[in-house]
Structure 1
Amino acid sequence: MIYDCIIIGGGIAGLQAAIQLGRYQHNVLVLDDGKGRSSICHCYHNLLGWPDGVSGEKLRSIGQMQALRLGVQFEKQRVEAVEQTGGLFCATTSTSQQFLGKRVLLATGIKDNIPPLEGLFPCLGKSVFVCPDCDGYEILNKKALVIGSGNAGVSMALTLTYWTDALTFINHGKGEIGADFMEKLVGKGIRLVSDEISEIHADCSDFMGVTLANGDRLEFAYAFLAFGGNLPNTGLALQLGVKLDKNKHIPVDPRTKMTSVENIWAAGDITVHSEQAAIAMGDGIQAAIWIHKSLLES
C-alpha cells in the first residue's frame, strides 16, 4: 500500500496533523515508538480547555482514538531509516518493515536531558518541571529547587525569580558557572549548592526533596530541571538531506511548514525552541493543510 502521508512521530504535533489529514480522507500512517516527551509528561497545565491540567498520556490516547475514527492507521514502531526513491518515500522500521508514502511529516520532537535519578520520572509535569513558561506559575510564591548544571541551571533559576524568590540551585552536573552568571545568582539571593544528589525523595508524583552526597537532606515540594543539551531527533531528517539550523532544529517555511526538501514537512518541537504543546498542535494542523494542498496538485 502507498500512503498519501507517513507521519513519523505520534506526539502532539503528529497526532494533530493525522486528525486533520484524516478529515481530508487521506490514507495516513503514523509511525511512533511511544517514547516521545509527551508520553512522560504527567500534566500539561497551560492548555485551553483543560483548567485542571491533562497528562500527555491522556492527550495522546484521546488523539489516537479521534484519528482512528477518521481511518488513520498506527504502527507502534521505531523508524530507523527513510529514503526517497522513485518519487516516493520509504520508511524502514526497527523490525525491518517498510512503508511507502507520497509525503512525509517529521514530528520526531526532542529528547530532554534528564539525569537518571530514580524517582524523577513519575513527578514530571506534576511536581518536577522542565519548562518555566509552561509551569513557572506552579511555584508562585513557593520555595523550589533547580536541579541542573552550570550556566544552564543558573539561567533557569534566574528565570524562575519572576514567580518566587525562594530558590535553591543544585549544580548536580558540576558545570562551570561563568562570573557574570554567578554575580546574577548572588544578586538575586539564590542559594547555590555544589554537591551532587545521591537520592530523590518522592511519593509517587509528589516530589519531596533530595539527599546530597554529603548526607544533607533538602526538603522541597517542587523542582525544575535544567541541564542544557536537549537533543532534537533529527537523524531521519539528515538521512533525507533536510537542512538543519545551527542548533540542529529544522527550519521550515513559516506558512507551509515544509522543510528544505520538497514533499517533506516538519512540525512540533523539532522545528522551534518554544516547546509548547499548543504550538505543536498548530504546527501539526498547518502542515496537514499544506500537505493536503500538495496532494491535490499531484
Structure 2
Amino acid sequence: MDYECIIIGGGIAGMQAAIQLGRYEHKVLVIDAGVGRSTICGSYRNVLGWPDGISGTKLRQIGREQAQSLGVSWVTDEAIDVCSEDGHFVVHTKEQGTYKTVTLLLATGVMDRFPELPNLRSCLGSTVYVCPDCDGYEVKDKRTIVLGSGDTGANMAVTLSCWTDKMVYVNHEKLPICSELHTKLSELQIEVIAAPVEQVLCTAEGILSGIRLANGCVIAGERGFIAFGGNEVRSTLASRLRIERLENKHIVVDPRTKMTNVPHVWAAGDVCAHAEQLTIAMGEGAQAAIWIHKTIVNVRSANEDTRHHH
C-alpha cells in the first residue's frame, strides 16, 4: 500500500506531526516500536496545559487516539531498513513487511543509557530526572542524589548546583573525573562517592527516599538525577539514506523546514541536534508536517500534470 507520508517513531514529535498531517487529510502511516524516551517518563511537568504533570505513556495514548480519529494509520512494529526506489521510499519493518511512501519523517528519538537498578524506572519522571532544563526546578533546595558516570555525572552535579546545595554525586561506574570538574565539585562542596549502586529506595508511588550502595551503605535523598552519557541516538535509518549526521549521530536538518539534506526526508524531535525538550519536539513535529504537506501538494499536482500530458 502506498502512503503520502510515513512517520517512523510514534513519540512526541511523530505524534504531533501525525495529527497535523491527519488534519490535512493526507494518507499517513505511523510505524511505532512502542518504546522510547517518552515511555519511561512518569510525569512531564513543564508542559503548557498540564500543571500537575502528565506521563509519557498517557500522552502517547491520547496522541495516538487523536491521530487515528483523523484517519492516520498506525502499526506497532520496528522499521529496520529504508531505501529509495523510483521516486519513492520503501520502509522495511521487522514483522509487518514493506510500505511505500512519497515523503518520510524520521522521529526515532534518543534513548537514555542507564543501569537497570531495582526501582529506578518507577521513579523516572516522578522524583528521578534526566534533563536539567526540564526538571532542575524539581530539586530546588532538596537533598539530591546524582547517579552517573565520570565527567557526565560530574557535569550534571555542577549544573544542578544552582538549584540545591544539598547534593551528592555517586559515580556508579567509577570512571575518572577530569581535574577541572574535580576542582569545581570541591569548590561547590559536592560530595563525590565512587561506588556502585545496588538499588534505588523508593515508595510504591515512585517517591525516592535514597539509594543503597553495593557495600550496603544507604544514602538518603529526596530527588535524583541520572547522567551516564552514551545515550543512544536512534539515527541508523538515516545512514541508510546517506542523510547528514553529526559526529554524535544527531541528524542535521534545515532549521526552517526540518528537512534533511535528502529531498523529501524530514527529521524532528530528539533525533535532531537541539535541546531535548517535549515542547520543542512537538513544535518540530508540527513544523516538519507543514513542509511535508507543501511537498505532497506539489507532488500531487506534478503527477496530475504528467497524466494530462499523457
TM-score, length basis structure 1: 0.98
Which structure has the bigger radius of gyration?
A: 2
Name whichever of 265-274 and 88-97 sits farther off: 88-97
CA contact (8 A) 2:209 2:222 kept: yes
Query: 2:161 & 2:127 partners in 1: Cα distance?
Result: 17
Name whichever of 4-13 and 56-65 sits farther off: 56-65
1:251 aligned partner, one-letter code = V
Query: 1:85 & 1:96 partners in 2: Cα distance?
Result: 19
SS of match in other structure, 2:282: helix
Query: 1:136 & 1:119 partners in 2: Cα distance?
Result: 21
SS of match in other structure, 1:209: strand
SS of match in other structure, 1:14: helix
Cross-structure match for 1:221: 222
1:296 Cα deviation (Å)?
Answer: 1.1
Number of residue-to-residue matches in the alignment: 298
Name whichever of 212-221 and 274-283 sits farther off: 212-221
Cross-structure match for 1:74: 74
Cross-structure match for 1:247: 248
Cross-structure match for 1:19: 19
SS of match in other structure, 1:95: coil
Unpaired segments ≥5 residues, structure 2:
300-310
Cross-structure match for 1:291: 292
- 1:92-131 to 2 correspondences below 5 Å: 92-95=92-95, 97-131=97-131
1:245 Cα deviation (Å)?
Answer: 1.1
| Cα offsets for 1:158-213 (capped at 9, x unmatched) | 11011100000000011110111000000001011111111221223122211112
Query: 1:199 & 1:21 partners in 2: Cα distance?
Result: 44
Query: 1:93 & 1:203 partners in 2: Cα distance?
Result: 40
Cross-structure match for 2:308: none
Query: 1:45 & 1:89 partners in 2: Cα distance?
Result: 38
1:286 Cα deviation (Å)?
Answer: 0.4
Query: 2:267 & 2:222 partners in 1: Cα distance?
Result: 37
How many percent of aligned residue pairs carry the same amino acid? 49
Unpaired segments ≥5 residues, structure 1:
none
| Cα offsets for 1:203-259 (capped at 9, x unmatched) | 231222111122111111211001111121011000111110122101100111000
TM-score, length basis structure 2: 0.95
Cross-structure match for 2:234: 233
SS of match in other structure, 1:249: coil
Structure 1 runs (4+) deviating above 6 angstroms are: none
CA RMSD of aligned residues (A): 0.9
1:211 aligned partner, one-letter code = R
SS of match in other structure, 1:45: coil
Query: 2:195 & 2:42 partners in 1: Cα distance?
Result: 29
Query: 2:217 & 2:118 partners in 1: Cα distance?
Result: 18
